[in-house]
Amino acid sequence: MFDFEILVQDAQEILGAVPFTLLMAFMIFIFSAILGSLFALVEHQRVPVLREFVFAYKVAFKGIPMVIVIFLSYYGLPPVIQFLASLIGVKFNGHATPNWVILVIAVTACIAAFQAEVVKGALNSFDTGQADAARSLGYTSGQLFRRVLFPQVVIAAIPDLTNSIMVIMKALSLGFAIEVVDIFAQSQLTAALNFYYLEAFVIAVVIYMVIAYAVTQAADRMERALRVWI
């Protein structure tokens, strides 16, 4: 029925996939945060044409399930990459793109739509009176951003950014559809070898919950440490 000796054995194998999963998650987090910040900036500054584009982007990527986005980029990206490479005169076989790169691009595209919301919310929480005060003291825009706006906005965004790290971790589990081996895919592979499916999946569940707990705790600590004025 439920074999506890298998658990220990499986755990070692599945834990081996954790570093790569975390690495991918980290990459996606950085890229999507940058892309999302750009989107949020476009919306915040009300840039005329780009604003409509960002809106359309958000509607599209929030409405379509992530599996489908992943599959679409799996089949659609290689020709696109090849075409773009040929435009700038580089001979590049787009179909040789590693699957994990495609997964990273697809998930980044999805998450960026949500990250834009996070950054926008954080920007809105910023008190404009402080900007006025800084301006009246003769701060330049760069100084205003570096010394006043950025430190506050980052702290306001920490809980939602933590949330998005967890979402990215989970989103990577869909990578098994295009043969990227993360924690979930590794547990499937392990189970396929010894037929103890439930055991392998229980291990994966525990790993995910532990990671979630660790990330949340770390973020809470960081927020408390950085939040100086309360």
Partner 1 sequence: MDIPAMIPELMSALPLTLAITFTALIVGFCLALIAATLRIRRLPVISIFADLYVSYARSVPVVLQLFVAFYGLPLLVALLGAPDFFSPTVAAMVGLSLYHGGYLSEVIRPAYLAVDRGQHDAADSLGYTFRQKMTRIVGPQAVHIALPGYGNSLIYLTHNVALVMYIGAADVMATAHLIMERSYNQYQFETYLVLAVIYSLMCLVAWLIVRLFELRSPMYAPQAKQLKQVAMPSV
> What track of x and - describes contact with partner 1 for positions 110 through 129 (by CB under 8 A)?
xx--x--xx--x--------
Q: Which stretch binds partner 1 (CB under 8 A): 39-47, 93-101, 132-140, 160-168?
A: 160-168
Q: In angstroms, what is the minimal distance from the CB of 137 to partner 1?
A: 30
Q: Is 145 in the site for partner 1 (CB under 8 A)?
A: no
91/166 Cα distance (integer angstroms) = 38
Residues 6+ apart with CB under 8 A from 31: 104, 108, 112
225/230 Cα distance (integer angstroms) = 11
Q: Is 180 in the site for partner 1 (CB under 8 A)?
A: no
93/157 Cα distance (integer angstroms) = 40
Q: Is 198 in the site for partner 1 (CB under 8 A)?
A: yes
156/123 Cα distance (integer angstroms) = 9
Tokens of 26: 């980290």
Q: Binding residues for partner 1, per CB under 8 A?
A: 1-2, 60, 62-69, 71-72, 75-76, 110-111, 114, 117-118, 121, 160, 163-164, 166-167, 169-171, 173-174, 176-177, 184, 187-188, 197-198, 201-202, 204-205, 208-209, 211-213
